[in-house]
């Protein structure tokens, strides 16, 4: 029996895959649990249109991420931090401070969850790099410098 998966099913397939399974498995388990629907011609047409629209939206999001990446690729961010006499920072610099500094210095808003700092946080003055993941295919590094206030 040919079915369309409505959710990811382990060892069977992913959402919106068309798979062939035994009749009993489909009618007694997958369809009643809402994991799949019968793959009749009208449902296949709906699925094709859904995939087409999703691809269009995905491409639009990717292009926006690439534009933003081009703006951010060659910038250097300065982050001020209170320090002791030895150059150690009181507290630490993390993704949240980097996102705020980019917003304040370049007027570009980034989600802090998309910024990855090696070792989670910085505790000393110096030059560092942070990885920014705007999209699953758009990744780059931003240089930042932690300076004493």
- Half-sphere exposure of 139 toward its Cβ, with a 13 Å CA cutoff? 9
The answer to whether the CB of 26 falls within 8 A of the CB of 40 is: no
- The pTM (predicted TM-score) of the whole model is 0.67
Q: What is the pLDDT of residue 73?
A: 81
Higher pLDDT among residues 31 and 121, named by residue: 31
| pLDDT(140) > 80 | yes
Domain boundaries, the chain: 2-64, 69-148
| pLDDT(118) > 90 | no
Q: What percent of the chain has pLDDT over 70?
A: 99
As a CATH number, domain 69-148 is 3.10.430.100
SS (H, E, C) the chain: CEEEECCCECCCECCCCEEECCHHHHHHHHCCCCCEEECCHHHHHHHHHHHHHHHHHHHHHHHHHHHHHHHHCCCEEEEEECECCCCEEEEEECHHHHHHHHHHHHCCCCCHHHEEECCCCEEECEEEEEEEEEECCEEEEEEEEEEEC
Give the integer Cα–Cα distance in Å for 73 and 134. Answer: 12
Fold of the domain spanning 2-64: Ribosomal Protein L9; domain 1 (3.40.5)
Average pLDDT, the chain: 90
């Amino acid at each position: 029996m040919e079915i369309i998966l409505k959710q990811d099913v382990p060892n069977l397939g992913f959402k919106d895959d068309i798979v062939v399974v035994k009749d009993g498995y489909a009618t007694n388990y997958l369809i009643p649990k809402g994991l799949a629907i019968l793959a009749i011609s009208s449902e296949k047409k709906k699925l094709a249109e859904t995939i087409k629209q999703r691809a269009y939206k995905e491409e639009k999001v990717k292009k926006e991420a690439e534009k933003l990446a081009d703006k951010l690729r060659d910038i250097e961010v300065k982050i001020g931090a209170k320090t002791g006499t030895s150059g150690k920072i009181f507290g630490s610099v993390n993704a949240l401070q980097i996102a705020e500094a980019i917003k304040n210095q370049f007027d570009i808003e980034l989600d802090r969850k998309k910024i990855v700092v090696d070792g989670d946080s910085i505790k000393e003055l110096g030059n560092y790099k942070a990885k920014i993941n705007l999209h699953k295919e758009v990744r780059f590094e931003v240089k930042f410098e932690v300076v004493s206030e």
